């Protein structure tokens, strides 16, 4: 089902990594009525505000990509914010979409929903089959509740609400704060900051052995639009590349792009997190979608964007210690 390019499309969380990529994608695809609202304009945790906004704007399609996000440190030090903010955000938006008869909604979750020791690659069916990774369980529980909420409204009210679970993301618009960001942008920032030091060293949390998969955010935006137009099912669906590498290998790739002279130092007193996490993306591939960005090229283009933004004194997101609500 191809969406009418004049339809009212709401991107909830338009200034974040995913939301900004989605807005770019929708513009590129010729959408003429893209609805957005900043945090100052609309508190997505407030049901009354959200319902009022939906009543006034009547979006036909909703990309629910807003949330409070961050890495291991942010998750471990602010668990209440992570679970409260994220549960409230999807609760208010999903309910308002039902109230005001939204045609279709896509809820974006996270691959952290899966058990810590899930079989690899991780299929969608492994949800709720084992204990979660303790370092991000608050965020994971909130995201799982979002999936179940969409399923509940689908079951009880017949709503066409779907859920997509992306792997680790990176790209233009990412959060580069060293306390609250994810591993790839944090490493990029560390290597950049080490340029010009006499004996540059970059400290990497943990042993470097955990395996991770990374997806460029522009690929995710493309996948979200693809799913909105081609997928309608109760089951959530994985979005990724299906290819992983170790954190050590990732750090080496970023070092080679940003500051080849820097030495890697692994802080083994810090947690590794889940030992391995790579998604089984066969269901999405069978629908006809696949990513276009190679990781090496994606790292290079993201760093080029980072440097250009710094040089232009642009607004690099997340240069603060608190987790972000986007």
Place of tokens 């009022």: 52
Structural contact between residues 220 and 18, judged by C-beta atoms closer than 8 angstroms: yes
For residue 217, give every residue at least 6 positions away whose Cβ sits within 8 Å of its Cβ, in sequence order, or none: 17, 18, 21, 169, 170, 171, 172, 173, 174
Among residues 300, 295, 293, which one has the least CA distance to residue 258? 300
Q: Residue 314: CA atoms inside 13 Å, Cβ hemisphere, count?
A: 13
Decide if 139 is catalytic.
yes
CA distances from 94 to 5, 55, 88 (A): 23, 13, 10
Q: Both tokens of residue 268?
A: 């083994």
- Strand residue runs (E) in the chain: 9-12, 34-35, 61-64, 68-69, 104-108, 161-166, 168-170, 201-205, 211-216, 237-239, 244-246, 263-267, 276-277, 324-325
Q: Both tokens of residue 131?
A: 């204990």
Among residues 91, 227, 89, which one has the least CA distance to residue 160? 227
CA distances from 66 to 90, 136, 245 (A): 8, 17, 28
The answer to whether the bond into 121 is cis (omega within 30° of 0) is yes
Structural contact between residues 265 and 204, judged by C-beta atoms closer than 8 angstroms: yes
Q: Determine which one of 114, 139, 153, 293 is catalytic.
A: 139
**Residues involved in catalysis:** 139
């Amino acid at each position: 089902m191809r969406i009418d390019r004049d339809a009212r499309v709401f991107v909830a969380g338009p200034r974040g990594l995913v939301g900004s990529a989605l807005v770019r994608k929708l513009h590129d695809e010729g959408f003429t009525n893209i609805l957005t609202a900043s945090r100052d304009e609309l508190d997505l945790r407030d049901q009354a505000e959200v319902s009022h906004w939906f009543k006034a704007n009547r979006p036909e399609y909703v990309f629910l990509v807003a949330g409070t996000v961050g890495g291991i440190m942010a998750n471990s030090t602010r668990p209440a914010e992570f679970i409260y903010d994220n549960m409230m955000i999807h609760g208010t938006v999903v309910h308002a979409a039902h109230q005001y008869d939204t045609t279709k909604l896509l809820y974006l979750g996270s691959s952290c929903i899966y058990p810590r020791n899930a079989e690899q690659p991780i299929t969608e069916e492994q949800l709720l089959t084992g204990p979660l990774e303790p370092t991000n369980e608050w965020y994971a529980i909130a995201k799982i509740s979002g999936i179940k909420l969409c399923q509940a409204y689908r079951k009880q009210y017949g709503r066409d609400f779907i859920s997509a679970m992306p792997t680790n993301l990176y790209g233009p618009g990412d959060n580069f704060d060293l306390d609250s960001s994810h591993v790839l942008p944090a490493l990029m920032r560390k290597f950049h900051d080490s340029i010009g030091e006499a004996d540059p060293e970059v400290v990497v949390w943990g042993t470097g052995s955990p395996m991770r998969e990374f997806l460029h955010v522009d690929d995710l935006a493309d996948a979200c639009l693809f799913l909105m137009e081609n997928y309608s099912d109760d089951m959530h669906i994985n979005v990724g590349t299906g290819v992983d590498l170790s954190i050590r290998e990732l750090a080496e790739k970023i070092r080679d792009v940003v500051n080849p002279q820097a030495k890697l130092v692994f802080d083994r007193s810090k947690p590794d997190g889940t030992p391995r996490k790579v998604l089984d993306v066969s269901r999405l591939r069978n629908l006809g979608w696949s990513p276009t960005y190679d990781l090496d090229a994606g790292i290079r283009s993201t760093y080029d964007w980072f440097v250009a933004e710094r040089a232009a004194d642009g607004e690099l997101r997340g240069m603060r210690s608190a987790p972000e609500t986007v």
